[in-house]
Amino acid sequence: MRLDFVFGLPADDKGNTGILVFVCRLSKMYHLAPVRDKVTGKQPAQLFLDSVFRYHGLPETIVSDRDPRFTGAFWDILFQLLGTKLTMSTADHPQTDGQTERVNRVLEDTLRSICAEAPRS
């Protein structure tokens, strides 16, 4: 499982300006969860449990970048209790997490296209 954030999107009705992206490394299936730009360490963990764990169980490994939202003590404790190995990708080396970066690029392009075609009034 790979995790990453996409930020800089127009705010939705609830003030969310980002998306937390979960991508299965094997099936390439992905789950998307809206987030605010001030997301805390606990919220991504809860979104992971609600969006991924609930439907697919716990993956053997999880790869994320070194975003502080993924490196907090909450994640360390959560994964230690659940027996999952958390692997951080190398900073400034997007090839380590290329699948998620590709999904993010397509997602950003798609959302920009939709927003350009139907801007809010």
Structural domains present in the chain: 2-117 (3.30.420.10)
First to last CA, the chain: 38
Provide the CA 119 distance to its chain's centre, in angstroms: 25
Provide the CA 59 distance to its chain's centre, in angstroms: 15
Contacts 24+ apart (CB under 8 A), 107-110: 107/6, 107/19, 107/21, 107/32, 108/6, 108/9
pLDDT tier, 41 (very low <50, low <70, confident <90, very high otherwise) = low
| Region 46-69 average pLDDT | 84
| Region 68-88 average pLDDT | 72
Token match 């404790």: residue? 77
Token digits for 85? Answer: 């190995």
Token digits for 76? Answer: 């360390």
Residue 26's identity, in one-letter code, is L
Q: By three-state DSSP, how is residue 37 classified? A: coil
Q: Model's pTM, two decimal places?
A: 0.65
